[in-house]
Homo-oligomer: A and B are copies of this chain.
Amino acid sequence: MVVAAPSLLLAASPAEVAGEARRYRQANEQRIIAELIALLALPNLAGDAPNIERNAQAIQELFARRGLKSRLLRIAGAPPVVVADLPAQGAKKTIAFYAHYDAQPVDASQWSTPPWEPAVKDGRIFARSASDDKGPIVALLAAIDALRAAEIKPGVSLRFVFEGEEEAGSPHLGAYLEQFKDDLAADAWILCDGPVHQSGKQLLYFGARGVTDAELTVYGPARSLHSGHYGNWAPNPIVTMTHLIGSMRDTEGRILIEGYYADVKPLTEPEREALAAAPPFDREIQRELLIGRTEGQGVLNERILQPALNLRGFSGGRVGEQASNSIPVDARASIDFRLVPAQTVERVRELVERHITRQGFFIVRDVPDAATRMAHPNVIRIVWGHGYPAARTAMDLPIAKQVTEIVAAAAGHAPVRLPSLGGSIPMYIFQRGGTVPVIGVPIANHDNNQHAANENLKLQNLWNGIEIYAALMAALR
C-alpha cells in the first residue's frame, strides 16, 4: 500500500508530473496490467445485477488497497455508484473524474477471445470494457499511485465517480445527482469515457450528443407462409420495413423526417475555430475501414455534430443456408438516434412517430392482438429505450483553458478540441442545467472496437492516460 508522504514537491509543472507518472508506470507495468485484467474478468452488463455488484465491490477494493475510503451510493433497482474522495487541504475546489464500469451487450460468437477473458496480444488488451471504461478507471488509480510515489499533492480536492449503467442509457444518474447532492457535488467534471482522436492525438471534448433508441416491429402473416402460394398477396413485413426505413433516412445520412432539423442549434465561433484546427484524417480512416464512400458531404468531425439516425439492426426471416422460400411473420429494426443541441428526446420521439403515422402505420406499444392486426393495414410496434439530450460546455471558460493547457503540456502536443463527441454520455446531468463545466479527456485508442466485438485498449494509450490524468490531478486549480 502506498501511503502519502508529508513532504510535497511544490509547483511541479504538468510536463514534470507527466514525467514522474511515466517513471512510476515503467516500474509498475505488470502490476497495473494485472489490476486491469482482474477487473476485466468480471462480466458487467448493466442488467446483470449480481455481477454489477461484484464489479462495484472490486472497485471499492481497489480504492481500499490505496487506503482510500470509497462508498456505494444506492438507489433501489439501479446499479450502485462508486464514489471515492481524495481531499486536498485548503483546496477551494473539487474536481470530479467520471467513468462507468458497466458494458455494452456482447455477441460472443463474434469475438476472437471470450469477452470476459482478457487477452493481451499485439500491445493491446482485448476484453469487454477494456477501453470503455475499465481501462480509464485503472489509469486514474495508477495516476493516484504515481503522484503519491513522487510525493506530489493535488491542488484541488479530487472526487472519483464511477457509474454502473451508462451503457443502459444512465437511467438513474439524474436521480443519483439529485438524491446525493453533497456526495456528488463538484466544481467541474472530467469525463474519462470515449476514444482519443483518430490521428492518435489527445482529444478534449466539450460536449456529447444525446441519444435515444427505438425497436420497431412490423407484422406479416400470423404464421410463416409459402412464398409461392402467398407471395405477392400476403404482405411481406421485410418489404414493409425496408420502405419505412427508406422513408426515414437516405443513404447520405440525411434524416427525411419532416421538421427533424428545425431544433438544431448552430455552432459558436470558438467551436468553429477548434473544429477548423482539428487535423483532417478522413482518408486514413476510410482506408482503415475499407469504405469506398462516406455518407453525406463534409468531414467526420463536422458530420458528428449533426443529428444521426443509425440502423443498429434489422432482422426478418432467414438468410443464407437457413433461408427458406417463405414470407416471414414479422420484421424488426433497431434504431439509435443521436441528438444535438437543442433537440429533446421528447421532440425526436414525437417527430418520428408522426412520420411513421403519416406513412400509414398504426402504432402500438405491445404485441398487437388479432383485432388490432385485422383493423389496420399496417401495424407497427414501437418500443423506445431510455434517452437523454445533448450537452455542450463553452470552450472559452477558464477551466476549459486550464484543461487544454495541462493536457497539451503533459502530452507534448496541442490536443484536438471538439465541440462535441459523436458518442453519447450524459454530460447534461453533470452540467446541472448548464452551470457546471464538463470536459471530456478520453484516453482509449480510436480503433478500440468500442461497443462491438473484440473491444480492446492499446497499452500505450493506458500509459499515456496515466500521465494525462496525473498531470490534471496535480495541476488543476
Interface residues of A (CB under 8 A from B): 104-105, 107, 110, 194-195, 209, 211, 213, 215, 219-236, 238-243, 245-246, 249-251, 253, 282, 286-296, 300, 303-304, 306, 308, 310-328, 331-334, 336, 338, 370, 373-379, 421-424, 446-447, 449-454
Query: In the complex, what's the smallest C-beta–C-beta distance from A378 to chain B, in angstroms?
Result: 7
Task: Kindly state the separation between the CA atoms of A423 and B234 in the bound complex, as whole angstroms.
Answer: 14
Please pick, from B211, B292, B319, the residue contacting A314 in the complex, using a CB distance under 8 A: B319
| CB nearest neighbor in B for A447 | B223
* CB-CB under 8 A for A226 and B105, given A232-B308, A313-B318, A338-B231: no
Quickly give the copy total for this chain: 2
Task: Kindly state the separation between the CA atoms of A195 and B226 in the bound complex, as whole angstroms.
Answer: 10
* CB-CB under 8 A for A304 and B104, given A213-B323, A239-B249, A319-B312: no
Whether the Cβ atoms of B289 and A223 lie closer than 8 Å is yes
* CB-CB under 8 A for A224 and B331, given A291-B235, A314-B242: no
Whether the Cβ atoms of A233 and B246 lie closer than 8 Å is no
Whether the Cβ atoms of B312 and A326 lie closer than 8 Å is yes
Task: Kindly state the separation between the CA atoms of A231 and B310 in the bound complex, as whole angstroms.
Answer: 6
Query: In the complex, what's the smallest C-beta–C-beta distance from A79 to chain B, in angstroms?
Result: 17
Whether the Cβ atoms of B331 and A422 lie closer than 8 Å is no
- Which residues of chain B are within 8 angstroms of A286 by Cβ–Cβ distance? 374
Task: Kindly state the separation between the CA atoms of A249 and B246 in the bound complex, as whole angstroms.
Answer: 12
Query: In the complex, what's the smallest C-beta–C-beta distance from A99 to chain B, in angstroms?
Result: 16
Please pick, from B241, B296, B312, the residue contacting A318 in the complex, using a CB distance under 8 A: B312
- Which residues of chain B are within 8 angstroms of A195 by Cβ–Cβ distance? 226, 229
Whether the Cβ atoms of B303 and A233 lie closer than 8 Å is yes
* CB-CB under 8 A for A313 and B229, given A334-B318, A452-B224: no
Whether the Cβ atoms of A313 and B246 lie closer than 8 Å is no
* CB-CB under 8 A for A319 and B296, given A291-B234, A451-B226: no
Task: Kindly state the separation between the CA atoms of A336 and B211 in the bound complex, as whole angstroms.
Answer: 37
Whether the Cβ atoms of A452 and B226 lie closer than 8 Å is yes
- Which residues of chain B are within 8 angstroms of A327 by Cβ–Cβ distance? 310
- Which residues of chain B are within 8 angstroms of A306 by Cβ–Cβ distance? 232
Whether the Cβ atoms of B314 and A232 lie closer than 8 Å is no
Whether the Cβ atoms of B229 and A336 lie closer than 8 Å is no
- Which residues of chain B are within 8 angstroms of A322 by Cβ–Cβ distance? 105, 107, 313
- Which residues of chain B are within 8 angstroms of A295 by Cβ–Cβ distance? 232-236
Whether the Cβ atoms of A332 and B304 lie closer than 8 Å is no
Please pick, from B292, B293, B311, B318, the residue contacting A316 in the complex, using a CB distance under 8 A: B311
Query: In the complex, what's the smallest C-beta–C-beta distance from A293 to chain B, in angstroms?
Result: 4
Please pick, from B107, B246, B289, B453, the residue contacting A246 in the complex, using a CB distance under 8 A: B246
Q: Which 6 A-B pairs have the closest CB atoms?
A: A228-B423, A224-B452, A313-B317, A293-B377, A238-B311, A227-B310
- Which residues of chain B are within 8 angstroms of A234 by Cβ–Cβ distance? 289, 291, 294-295
Query: In the complex, what's the smallest C-beta–C-beta distance from A272 to chain B, in angstroms?
Result: 19
- Which residues of chain B are within 8 angstroms of A222 by Cβ–Cβ distance? 288-291
- Which residues of chain B are within 8 angstroms of A310 by Cβ–Cβ distance? 227, 231-232, 236, 325, 327
Whether the Cβ atoms of B449 and A224 lie closer than 8 Å is yes
Task: Kindly state the separation between the CA atoms of A271 and B463 in the bound complex, as whole angstroms.
Answer: 79
- Which residues of chain B are within 8 angstroms of A232 by Cβ–Cβ distance? 253, 295-296, 303-304, 306, 308, 310, 338, 422
Query: In the complex, what's the smallest C-beta–C-beta distance from A253 to chain B, in angstroms?
Result: 4
Please pick, from B319, B375, B453, the residue contacting A313 in the complex, using a CB distance under 8 A: B319
Please pick, from B213, B289, B375, the residue contacting A225 in the complex, using a CB distance under 8 A: B289
Task: Kindly state the separation between the CA atoms of A101 and B101 in the bound complex, as whole angstroms.
Answer: 55
- Which residues of chain B are within 8 angstroms of A288 by Cβ–Cβ distance? 222
Whether the Cβ atoms of A229 and B293 lie closer than 8 Å is no
Whether the Cβ atoms of A291 and B221 lie closer than 8 Å is yes
Whether the Cβ atoms of B421 and A308 lie closer than 8 Å is no
| CB nearest neighbor in B for A245 | B242
Whether the Cβ atoms of A323 and B313 lie closer than 8 Å is yes
Task: Kindly state the separation between the CA atoms of A322 and B213 in the bound complex, as whole angstroms.
Answer: 13
Whether the Cβ atoms of A105 and B291 lie closer than 8 Å is no
Please pick, from B228, B239, B453, the residue contacting A338 in the complex, using a CB distance under 8 A: B228
Whether the Cβ atoms of B308 and A231 lie closer than 8 Å is yes
- Which residues of chain B are within 8 angstroms of A452 by Cβ–Cβ distance? 223-226, 324, 326
Whether the Cβ atoms of A370 and B290 lie closer than 8 Å is yes
* Known pairs A105-B318, A228-B338, A319-B332 / 6 extra A-B pairs, C-beta < 8 Å: A223-B447, A224-B452, A228-B304, A286-B374, A312-B326, A313-B317
